[in-house]
Amino acid sequence: MNGYHYRRTPRDAWGINPFKEYLHDLTAMKPESIQALCKWLDISLKTMQRYISGETHVPRAICYALYHESQWGKQLAYTEAFNDRQIQFMQINELKSQVRNLETNLADTRRALAEAEKHTAAISSASNDATYGIKREPRNPHAFTAFKLKASYRRHQRR
């Protein structure tokens, strides 16, 4: 017997009348079925006969065990499993929605960052810089080579 369902057992699931209902549901009052049930419950056939006749009080644990093996207990277990599945399905869908929103936000943030980097690269100076707002001329990639050529040309002309 699972402790999870034991806590959810109805309060009126024990006593002589529910016991007889569960017994009838499980065995149809056939002697061989009652003997198999006694073996499963680990009680003697004589004790079971006392429970059925009402001579002895039926323990709550026996009633609860029979309840969870009866059609009513199984329906409770199936219903709880189905409801748990529905809740998990809704939680999964909510998490998927959150993931989609986060991915959209991430894409927007990356786009904004790329635009900010382009803007920063275009300005390339701080607002309190002395040359702020003055466009810099692009550097010639071979400026050093051109300088060397001019210097060597000047040297040759001096001679």
- From first to last of the 159 residues of the chain, give the pLDDT tens digit: 344 544 566 666 777 778 788 888 888 778 888 888 888 888 888 888 888 888 888 888 888 888 888 888 788 878 888 888 999 999 999 999 999 999 999 999 999 888 887 776 666 555 566 555 566 666 655 555 555 566 665 655 655
Q: How many domains does the chain have?
A: 2
Whether 146 is in a domain gets the answer: no
Whether 53 is in a domain gets the answer: yes
Whether 132 is in a domain gets the answer: no
Q: What is the pLDDT of residue 3?
A: 45
Co-location of 107 and 56 in the same domain: no
Alpha carbons 55 and 121: distance in angstroms, whole number: 95
Contact indicator for 59, 15 with CB cutoff of 8 Å: no
Query: pTM of the predicted model, to two decimals?
Result: 0.47
Query: Where does residue 50 rank: exposed (0-12), middle (13-18), buried (19+ CB within 10 A)?
Result: middle
Whether 151 is in a domain gets the answer: no
Residues 6 or more apart from 65 whose CB is under 8 A from it?
Answer: 1, 41
Residue ranges making up the domain that contains 95:
74-121
- Residue from 20, 75, 8, 81 nearest 49 by CA: 20
Co-location of 25 and 64 in the same domain: yes
Joined tokens for residue 11 = 């309060």
Alpha carbons 35 and 43: distance in angstroms, whole number: 9
